[in-house]
Amino acid sequence: MTVTDVEVGKVIIVEGKSDKKKVECVIKEPVQIICTNGTISLSRLDELIEELFSMEVFVLVDSDEAGEKLRKQFKREFPEAAHLYVDKMYREVASAPEQHVASVLLSANIDVHAKFL
């Protein structure tokens, strides 16, 4: 399934499947979540930019070396994307508490389940 198969206006880019599961359980609105699996080739990034051009894109990656490298790549190649950050004390999106992830997403106007607030 590609991004354009789903009628959503928002996309969250995460690193791994565990990050995706964490975000999926917290969000309440239809949002496409894309896993990069830690890295992304320049050609795949170019394809993604074309697919996501008219959408609101958020980058939510870990606060570690791999995450920061990925974030820099997105900042350089896709400067329109908004960057969301989990607190450095959690280091990883997957290990951050649902309440923390919910507050990060809510700050970007992404609707989350009330039970996490």
pLDDT digits (tens, 9 = 90+) for 100-110: 999 999 999 99
pTM for the whole thing?
A: 0.91
Q: Which of 105, 22, 28, 14 is nearest to 59 (CA)?
A: 14
Burial tier of 14 (Cβ tally within 10 Å: 0-12, 13-18, 19+)? buried
Q: Which of 61, 58, 59, 116 is nearest to 92 (CA)?
A: 61
Residues 6+ apart with CB under 8 A from 3: 11, 32, 34, 48, 51, 52, 55
pLDDT in tens, 45-79: 999 989 998 899 999 999 999 999 999 999 999 99
pLDDT at 6 over 50: no
pLDDT in tens, 64-73: 999 999 999 9
Question: At which residue do the structure tokens 């928002």 appear?
Answer: 10
